[in-house]
Chain A
Amino acid sequence: MTDAAIRIENLTKDYPYGFLHLKTKRSLEGLTMRVEDGEVFGFLGPNGAGKSTTIKLLVGLIFPTAGTAYILGKPISDIAMHQDVGYLPEQPYFYDYLTATELLDYFARIHNLKAAGRRDRVARMLKKVGLETARKIQLRKYSKGMLQRVGLAQAILHDPRVVILDEPMSGLDPLGRREVRDIILELKREGRTVLFSTHILSDAEMLCDRVGVIAGGTLRGVGAPDEIVGIKAHGMEILFEFAGENAAAAALLGKATRTGNRYRLQVDEGELYATLEQLRSAGARILSVAQIKASLEEYFMHLIAADRAQAAAVDVSGK
């Protein structure tokens, strides 16, 4: 079996707390998973689930209590590993007295990029993230979205094979999110491995080959977005327009959700055609029919509810 782009083995992280740091809180519990070469992997979980902890462990900002991880076959403790890894921190903040060009040039020098190609590389990256015109403005004047984009530029500046992004869409407006999505898709087309954490589930569904769901510091599942959620159609939704009154349709209208003249009605799959016929006979105009699927969001909510129920059970039995 070929080595994965990212291989995590039993990674555990405890944080000390209290006045003398004698107590510890487990933030990540025995995480084991793989991210294959060239895939876009979404790391999902609610706030405080352990996503950022995992990412910080991978890029060497914090150190594991137990376990280890390998990126492109090199252990995360190996400084050479960083040469092939790009990282965007959550809510990135950079030296605000520098311009975007100066910041990228600084990081290019850190990566030992040769002077001849450095200026060109910096200019290309700024163009790629749409900051060409703002390249000479100090970062202290940048908006959050612009900082996110310059953060992306520094993460891919040195042409890394693995790109790790911590909440790359957080705090961005819809346009900014779309731009980041496009960049991630471009990275995928270029054959790079992308691991990104998010709690914006639609982004994960749209971009990821596979997702890993983490909650309470424990990995709950890994797979394609539809596999992990176990998506099954659990009903059909009919959107229709209806004006006036009809006794035959009254029962159906009573079950539907109304917005103006529009109605949204959920029915079982077996009842679909009969319902459509009833609506048609009553003079309704059918606008759309769609399957109702469990979304990642529902899966998430289910996980959190299960955690809370378990915590409550422990609490009660403890009493």
Chain B
Amino acid sequence: MSRVGVVAWNTFREAVRDRVLYNLVFFALLMMCAAILVGQISIGIEQMVIVSLGLSAISVIGLLMAVFIGVGLVSKEMDKRTLYALLAKPVRRWEFLLGKFGGLLLTLGINTAAMAAGLFAALYYVKHSLERADGIALVAIYFILLKLALVVALALLFSCYTTPLLAILFTAGLYVSGLFVNEMRGLHSETMAPAVQALLRGLSYILPNFENFDVMASAAHARHIPGMLILQNTAYAVLYCTIVLTAAAVIFSRRNLK
């Protein structure tokens, strides 16, 4: 296993031993309650309610994990000085960062996969069958994972040079602004100065665009999601993560550990 893989596996092991995956119990309870409730109401909107609720829960739980664990990936190791023995070994700092990123992504992937299984189990309970169109929820879950990868990369970047509290604020701030990127780009107002409009437009291209990853409505109504969007979002997430992780590696490789 490469050094990146060794660090990633240890990061995953830490999450498991710190009982991070216990959130699945909460998700399971939520899905069970929703399924039983929706099954009793039964007014033809079972699929929509279960998929919307399930995807929202997967997204929120994943985001909380990505932000709160992500900002501690580096800073916690520096505070506890667990990093000292490791970085004195033949490990490049970017290998460490990539390993931490990969480890949290693996944790989020397994967590999300387990929640997806719960979602489909609840869907099966209320519909007594699963159709091909239900698979669209899988695309939505994949987009949530891409979004989480971006959030982890941002949290890791901030974790490299600021305190955990500020890192949480910066990451959350970027996430929220990233939800309004398309509005920012299309904003035209007579009263707004052209310079401000140009600035907002420029920012809309720099900020991570989280809006594109939101296909929850399509999934809830089992509407088709174009293959091009899947390709486009994948390429965007990979590129953006690469840029953010490169910046994190540059900052971290110059950082003195006190």
Contact A89 B85 (CB under 8 A): yes
Closest to A52 in B: B258
Nearest CB of A to B137, in Å: 34
Partner among A63, A98, A155, A158 whose Cβ is within 8 Å of the Cβ of B254: A63
Give residues of chain B (1-56) contacting chain A, Cβ–Cβ below 8 Å.
Answer: 1, 3, 6-7, 10, 13-14, 17-18
Q: A54-85, CB under 8 A of B: which get 1 and which 0?
A: 00100111110000000000000001101101
Contact A94 B85 (CB under 8 A): yes
Which residues of the partner chain A approach B82 to less than 8 Å between Cβ atoms? 93-95
Answer yes or no: A193 CB below 8 A from chain B CBs.
no
Give residues of chain B (204-258) contacting chain A, Cβ–Cβ below 8 Å.
Answer: 254, 256-258
> Given A95-B14, A110-B6, does the pair A89, B84 have CB atoms closer than 8 Å?
yes
Cα(A79)–Cα(B3), bound, Å: 13
Contact A111 B17 (CB under 8 A): no
Nearest CB of B to A278, in Å: 60
Contact A93 B80 (CB under 8 A): yes
Answer yes or no: B128 CB below 8 A from chain A CBs.
no
Cα(A93)–Cα(B80), bound, Å: 7
Nearest CB of A to B93, in Å: 9
Q: A111-149, CB under 8 A of B: which get 1 and which 0?
A: 110000000000000000000000000000000000000
Nearest CB of A to B2, in Å: 9
Interface size on A, residues (CB 8 A): 32
Q: Which of B17, B81, B89, B256 has the most C-beta atoms of chain A within 10 angstroms of its own C-beta?
A: B89
Partner among B6, B89, B256 whose Cβ is within 8 Å of the Cβ of A82: B89
Which 10 A-B pairs give the minimum distances between C-beta atoms? Answer: A87-B88, A59-B88, A62-B256, A97-B17, A89-B84, A82-B90, A109-B6, A61-B257, A110-B89, A83-B90
* Contacts from A to B (Cβ < 8 Å): 15, 56, 59-63, 79-80, 82-83, 85, 87-89, 91-95, 97-98, 106-107, 109-112, 151, 154-155, 158
Chosen A-B contacts, 29 in total, with CB atoms closer than 8 Å, are A56-B257, A60-B87, A62-B258, A63-B254, A79-B90, A79-B91, A82-B88, A82-B90, A87-B84, A87-B85, A87-B88, A89-B81, A89-B84, A92-B81, A92-B85, A93-B81, A93-B82, A95-B14, A97-B18, A98-B13, A107-B85, A109-B3, A110-B3, A110-B86, A110-B90, A110-B91, A112-B3, A154-B85, A158-B89
